[in-house]
Every structure is written in structure tokens, then in C-alpha cells.
Structure 1
Amino acid sequence: MNPESVTMVDGYVPVIDISTRDGAFGRAALAEAIGRACRTSGFFVIVGHGVPPELIDRMRTATTAFFTLPDAEKDRAASRPGYSGFRPSGGTTAQSLDRRTPPDLCESFGVHVTGELSDAEREALGDYPATWKLANLWPEEPADFKDTWIEYMNALHALSTDLLRLCARALGLDEDHFDGKFDRHVSSLVANYYYPQVDEPLPGQLRRGAHTDFGGLTVLYQQDDTGGLQVLQGENTWRDVRAIPGSFVINIGDLMALWTGGRWVSTMHRVVNPDRADTSSRLSVPFFFQPNHDAVIEPLPSLDSVPGQQPPESVIAGEWMAMKMQKLFAPAQ
């Protein structure tokens, strides 16, 4: 990989061209660049990823068409007991970190890869309430929504699997090290629709409150022409993550940070409100690549502990993620 293949966004989040990942030399250099990003910001942007632009365009078009339907039409696909689907409120993301803020200013639609399994198969995915145990509820309109989303989700799964192998290599492990923790993964695809802000937000209210992601890797599509995503550098410096056409934003979640004993960072991020004169909407679609629900996550024995830091305790992936989700959608207090 040439040095020109890695550039920086605002000096903090690197942009990495991964088009060289089919060769051994390219993979070694990519792993080094990814490891460096995960030790610092926990975020990087990828280009040259191979996901067809035509598929991304279809996903964006179908998703935007859904969110701009009349409320009554969207409500036909509304999440209800036993089903995933549309949520007129995206929850209060900051509550996942026990921070009290007003609800986030967005709508959401989400499905899980496990949502297409049978009732019996889904019921076996943990003996506690969890979103991945819900059946997927698909909208009737647009007509191509379900097929497009499943095709897109399969493409993102393939990309995420290879990114995870590069992460393993960056940690000095065999590339297939994490495969057994993701062979029954409970990943999800979620669309966040940040509707036009006509009314003044409440104090402390954002499009998405400050939070960390819960699981392994996040692969995010964000609208090219509208900003808002910020990542935290240090204690109180927020950096914009510029939307680059044809790219995905990648970040690691809490469980990946735990696997590395804290050497890699699961970084706080948020989506800020637009200027008051800006009444445009914004779309972002994260694919959350989550481990098997019963995967035991503990610091890798091959990595030394971080000096001065208490080694994190092991957790069960599903229990951790379910606890975080319950906080996210708990009634605001």
C-alpha cells in the first residue's frame, strides 16, 4: 500500500484505501494502518471497498422513500412486541452510558440478520429479551425495500468479515482468529432518519446523543452532502467526520475494545444539530457487526495489559448488548 493510500480527516480520522486487500503485501500494510487508527481515534474511513455504488444508491433511494411516506404508512411497519421495524423515535442513545438527555431527534428502522430465522431458532438466541430475537417486520412500500436491504446487508456482512480479519492481523493474530465468535452473529442494519428540525431542540437535545457503540465493528453509510457526525478527541474536543462520497465510516465498539484489553478504543461520538436556518434532513445507515450472542468476550492473552489500567472483566456478548439496548429505549426520566 502506498503512503498516499492513507490520508487524514481533520488530522484524527484516517481515510484508508482498502482496494489492495487482495494481496498479501497489501493486507499487511492495511492491517498496520487499521491497527494504528484503532489505537488512536477508534475510527477510520474506507474507500475502495468494492461494495457496488449501484447497490448503495438503491439502498439510499429505497430508505429515503420509506421515511418520507406519510406517518400512517410508516406506522404499518412500526415495531411491536415480537417484531422489529420502524420506530418513530430513535430512543435516547446517551442513556446507554447512563447519561440523561432528551430523546434523540430522529426516526429509525432496523432489522437483524437473525430476523429471517424461524420462531424456534430466534427463541434459542439467549434466555433474556433481546432485539435479535425479534422477527423482521418489512414495509410494503417501497416495493423493492426488503430485497434491496437484504442484498445490501449481505454485502456489508462480507465486507465486515474481511475487515475483522484485517483487525485480527493488526493484533498479531491469525486472520481467522475471530471467525468462531461471528459464525452465528446477531448483526443488525439500522437506518437513522434525521428529519428537518422545524422546532427549537430542547436543551441538551441532539440528533444522536453522545455514545459508544456496543459490539464489534460498525460500518456506516452517511449522506455525502450533509454533515453532523463528530468523534471525541481527548476529554472535550469534538472532531467532524467529513462525509466522503463512496466511503464508509468504520469504528470499533465496546466489545472489540474489551478484546484488546483497552489497547483499542471505543470512542464517544454523536450527531449534532444543523444550523437553525438549515431545515434539511439527513440519512445514516449503520451495519452493526455483532458477535454470536453467547460469545465470551475477554482480553486476549497475547496482549499485555495497558499500564495503569485495570484489566476489564469478561462479558457474554449478548447479555452486554441487550443491557445496552434496554437502556437506550428506556423511558426518559
Structure 2
Amino acid sequence: MKMETVTVVDGYVPVIDISTRAEGIGRAALADAIGTACADSGFFVIVGHGVRPELIERMYSVTKEFFRLPDAEKNDVAHRPGVSGFRRFGGTTAQSLDQQTPPDLCEAFGVHVTGDMSEVERARLGDYSATWQLANAWPSVPTAFKDTWHEYMTTMADLSADLMRLFALALELEEEYFDDKFANHVSSLVANYYYPQVTEPLPGQLRRGAHTDFGGLTVLYQEDHLSGLQVLHGSDQWRDVRAIPGSFVVNIGDLMALWTGGRWVSTMHRVVNPEHGDISSRLSIPFFYQPNHDAIVEPLPSTAPTDGSAPVIAGKWIAEKMAKLFST
């Protein structure tokens, strides 16, 4: 592997240039680097990804404009029974599920790739309650919001699909191993708006409490000049993930860790508050790449299970986690 293919940030979250992923030798080197990262911290940063800067800039512009609307206009597309949209968090959202913490200091807007399907089509996505069965609630302002989000969501799905092929190579599988498991994926796109903190947080209150992601793969773009994302190293050491201009942060979720029989790790992460006196806002937009709702997930042939993992139905497993999260 060429030394310039991978550089390391703080020795824990590697920065990987994936611009060579169209080349045979380049893909093998990238898969090796990605596999090492997924086994170590479960996090890596990608540059050279090919996503147009213009699309990213447009996505951020319309999303910031939405969150700066008056509350009444945001409430028009609020999350409610049968509909996914704007959330003004009023309860714990820390996804570790085991801790009682104050509400996270953020607002959010989320949609699913399935949310514009008909009600009949969405009802077929599992015989249980799941977020991807909800209709998307799209704001009318900004006018370019829906089209921009659709374009960005498609781009993230394409990037994630190729990352999954690199995952397969890293796991000594055929490159297309995961393709059919994500052919009808139920992924979601969420914007987290960390509003200015004009009052002191409560003890233990963060912009986003410590949590792991539930699904397969997360691709996150964070503002170039702002940070706050931290990844747990060991049992008690939090490491900053720097905001590198033009990069995406990638991490695996609990389901992917299960898929590898514990060979790869889904790591706790959080978003800390800004320094005292800093009242700037922050925006991050994660894309959660989730398998088909009926995909069977079990430890892969190339992995020796280390955690006693049993097969699960992807959609049902994630839905149960999500139901517990939003009931806290």
C-alpha cells in the first residue's frame, strides 16, 4: 500500500483518501485501511470522495435556512403519528439507552428514502412499527429544500453502497456480497442543529449525549470550521474528531458490528458543548445507511464470532432499538 493513501489523525481515527477506489490495486489498499479502522475505533474520515462541493454547500444553505425559520413554521412539519419531520427534543435522546441524562441541546429534521412512497408501499416494510414506514413531511420554505435533500440523499446512498463494497473486500468476501442486502435499503437522512447556547447547560447536558449508532453505516458531514464530535477511546478517554475541510466522517453501527461477529466495533461517540462564551450554532448531517428491512444479519463466514451473536432480522432489530430510544 502506498504510504500517501492513508494518513492518521491522532493515531485513532484515520484519514483515508478514497480517490483511488476506481482502481483495482487502489481498492485493495483502501479495503485494508478501512478494515483496520473498523476493527480499531469503528471510525474513519474520508477525503477524495468525489461528492461535489456545490451540492454540499447547497445542502447546508437550505438546511440552515430551515432551522432559522420561526418556530411556528418549523412546527408545520413536526414529527407526529405517521409522519417524520422536525423534532424539538424534549426528552433524553442519548442512544446508549441505559442512562438517564438531560435532554440533548439540539433540534433535528429527518426523512427516509422510503418516506415518499405510498402508504400501502410503506406498510409492507415490516409487520411492526418502524420509522421508515412514516411519511416524509417536507417544508415549503426554503423552496429548494426538498429537491436538494433528495439529491443529497441519492448521492449519500451511492457513496455508502461503494463503501459497503470496500467493507466486503476488507472482510475477505466477494465485493458484491452486501449489494442485495441493501438493494431496497430503508436509510434515513437527518440534520442536527445545535442552536446557540445562551444559557448554561444542566449538569451532564451535552449537545448530543454519548451513544452508538444502531444500523450499518453512517456518513456524516460536519461544518469545516467547527468541531465538537468526540469518540470514546478505551473505557474513559474521549478523542476529538477534527473537522477536516471537505471530508466525511464514517462510522459503523451496532448492526455492522454484529454482522462481523464482533470483529469490527461500534463505538460510543458524543457532541460536546462549545467553550464557555461561544454561542455559535453548529450543523451536522448524518446519513444512516440501513439494510433492507427483511435482511437477515448473522456473523459472516469470514469472521469468527466473539460475542455470541445470533441471527436477527435487520429491520425488526433496528425498530426495537428506535422504539426504546424515543420512549425514554
TM range (shorter): over 0.9
Corresponding residue of 1:241: 241
State the match for 1:47 in structure 2: 47
Give the 3 Å change call, closer, same or farther, for CA 246–91 of structure 1 in structure 2.
farther
1:37 deviates by: 0.3
Deviating above 4 A after TM superposition, structure 1's stretches of 4 or more consecutive aligned residues are none
Residues in 2 aligned to 1:222 and 1:59: alpha-carbon distance in whole angstroms? 12
Counterparts of 1:93 and 1:74, CA distance in 2 = 20
Is 1:199 the counterpart of 2:209? The answer is no
- Secondary structure of 1:35's match? helix
Q: 1:8 is matched with which residue?
A: 8
Q: How many angstroms apart in 2 are the aligned matches of 1:296 and 1:92? A: 30
Q: Any stretches of 5+ residues in structure 2 without a counterpart?
A: none
Q: 2:286 matched to which residue of 1?
A: 286
Residue by residue over 1:290-326, the C-alpha shift from the partner in whole angstroms, topping out at 9 and shown as x without a partner, is 01111111111332233xxx32122211122112212
Shift of 1:206: 0.8
Secondary structure at the counterpart of residue 304 of structure 1: coil
Aligned partner of 2:320 in structure 1 is 323
How far apart, in 2, do the equivalents of 1:251 and 1:280 lie? 26
Distance 1:90 1:50, change over 3 A: farther
2:84 counterpart residue number: 84
Instruction: Report percent identity of matched pairs.
Output: 72
Matches within 5 A, 1:1-333: 2-89=2-89, 92-306=92-306, 310-331=307-328
Contact 1:206/1:272 (8 A) holds in 2: yes
Distance 1:17 1:111 in 2: 29
Task: Give, in angstroms, the shift of residue 93 of structure 1.
Answer: 3.0
CA distance in 2, matches of 1:238, 1:144: 38
Aligned-pair Cα RMSD in Å: 1.2
Structure 2 distance, partners of 1:199, 1:166, is 45
Moved more, 312-321 or 117-126: 312-321
Aligned residue for 2:135, secondary structure, equals coil
CA shift digits 1:13-34 (9 cap, x unpaired): 0000000001100000000000
Cα pair 1:46 1:248 within 8 Å, conserved: yes
**Residues 232 and 239, structure 1, Cα contact 8 Å, conserved in 2:** yes
* 5+ residue gaps, structure 1: none
User: Counterparts of 1:311 and 1:7 in 2: how far apart (Å)?
Assistant: 34
Tell whether the 8 Å contact from 2:95 to 2:212 is kept in structure 1 after alignment. Answer: no
What is the TM-score with the length of structure 1 in the denominator? 0.96
Greater shift in the superposed pair: 64-73 or 96-105: 96-105
11 and 57 in structure 1: CA distance in 2 versus 1, 3 angstrom threshold: same
* Aligned-residue offset at 1:2: 2.6
- TM-superposed deviation, 1:119: 0.6
Residue 116 of structure 1 aligns to a residue whose secondary structure is coil
1:64–1:323 CA distance, 2 compared to 1 (3 A): same
Instruction: Provide, for residues 61-115 of structure 1, a one-character-per-residue CA deviation record: whole Å limited to 9, x for no partner.
Output: 0000000111111111111111111111185332543211111110000000000
Paired amino acid for 2:88: P
- Take 2:55 and 2:312, find their aligned partners in 1: how far apart are those partners? 36
Is residue 95–residue 101 contact of structure 1 (8 Å, CA) maintained in 2?
A: no
Q: Distance in 2 between matches of 1:175 and 1:95?
A: 31
Q: Is the 8 A contact 1:90 1:106 kept in 2?
A: no
Distance 1:6 1:95 in 2: 31
Separation of aligned partners in 1, 2:265 and 2:151: 31
TM-score (norm 2): 0.98
